[in-house]
Amino acid sequence: MKRSLSLLSLLLLGTLGVVAQEYSGRIIDAKDKSPLPYVNVGVLGKSVGTVSNTEGGFKISPVGDVDSVKISMVGYKPKRFLGADLKANPAKFQTITLEQDVVSLKDVKVKNRKWKEAVLGNTTKSKGTNAGFNSNKLGNEIGIAIKIKRSPTIIKKFNASLSDPSTTNVKMRLNFYTIKDGLPDQLINNENIFVTVKKGDEAIDVDLTQYNIVAEDKFFVSLEWIETSPGRIMFSASLLSSFISRSTSQAAWEKVGIVGIGFNVLAEY
């Protein structure tokens, strides 16, 4: 019986060791070798992921043998690693280089058009109804789909209302996506758009004129939690609407059909 218990204990310890195995590394620019902060690192289709810190460092766990780990950030070519390969050679993760991805900007040319401005999205500033990030997990993302009035539409400004003043400084990333089958698909913006919510802020306003963001159809706008912070952000929300979120950068998107959060944009069409 003692031998059986000992054997069982060893098996359990071995299993726990595999589950708890943690991989760490550092991500740098392939050309100048500078560290790359705020790079998404995650297991495809699972709620396992993180974001690199200001020095490009990251840690991720657990990663199964058949899992695919994706390293990605706007402006760079993504990389993928198979869990079994990492297990056999953890050194692959020690230093990861990403190559810059050159993207050609689209020229917006519309003849004989009188451009108009409009606020699109959810303009609620409610203090009684709210919704927000379900955790402070790095890569947690939340947003809404917004319909356009005419194509192309130039997105000039992003606005969000907070139901309560922020209790601390929080750094986030603003993302714009195309939509496919009702869910976010491909990034529209070709560079990072960072947003810092300061303690006491009751709203978020971001001037987007320098980013050349053009929507050809209905699009998705989101905020992503990218830096460790003890704070909590809650947005104004309205009933009889919905929002979409995911727990980490490579997790599946989920629709939440209870309330819509107060995200909107100033657009020209």
pTM of the model: 0.88
- CA-based nearest residue to 228, from 61, 93, 50: 50
pLDDT tens-digit profile of 212-235? Answer: 999 999 999 999 999 998 878 999
Task: Count how many domains the chain has.
Answer: 2
Residues 94 and 123 in one domain: no
CATH of the domain at 146: 2.60.120
181, 189 Cβ separation under 8 angstroms: no
CATH of the domain at 83: 2.60.40.1120
In a domain, 185, yes or no: yes
**Is residue 250 pLDDT above 50, yes or no?**
yes
**Is residue 17 pLDDT above 60, yes or no?**
no
Residues 93 and 209 in one domain: no
Residues 144 and 231 in one domain: yes
Work out the number of other CB atoms within 10 angstroms of the CB of residue 52: 25
Work out the number of other CB atoms within 10 angstroms of the CB of residue 249: 24
pLDDT tens-digit profile of 81-92? Answer: 999 999 999 888
In a domain, 132, yes or no: yes
Regarding beta strands 219-225 and 234-239, do their DSSP bridges make them parallel or antiparallel, or are they unpaired? unpaired
pLDDT band at 93 (very low <50, low <70, confident <90, very high): confident
104 or 126, greater pLDDT = 126
Range of the domain at 160: 117-268
pLDDT tens-digit profile of 18-65? Answer: 444 789 999 999 999 999 999 999 999 999 999 999 999 999 999 999
Answer with the one of 41, 70, 98 that is the final residue of a domain.
98
Residues 230 and 174 in one domain: yes
In a domain, 9, yes or no: no
pLDDT tens-digit profile of 131-188? Answer: 998 788 999 999 999 999 999 999 999 999 999 998 889 999 999 999 999 999 999 9
244, 256 Cβ separation under 8 angstroms: yes
Answer with the one of 98, 127, 152 that is the final residue of a domain.
98
Residue 6, classed as helix, strand or coil, is: helix
DSSP string over 94-133: TEEEE-B---PPPP---TT----EEEEE-----SSSEEE-
Residues 136 and 264 in one domain: yes
DSSP string over 27-79: EEETTT--B-TT-EEEETTSS-EEE--TTSEEEE----TT-EEEEE-TTB--E
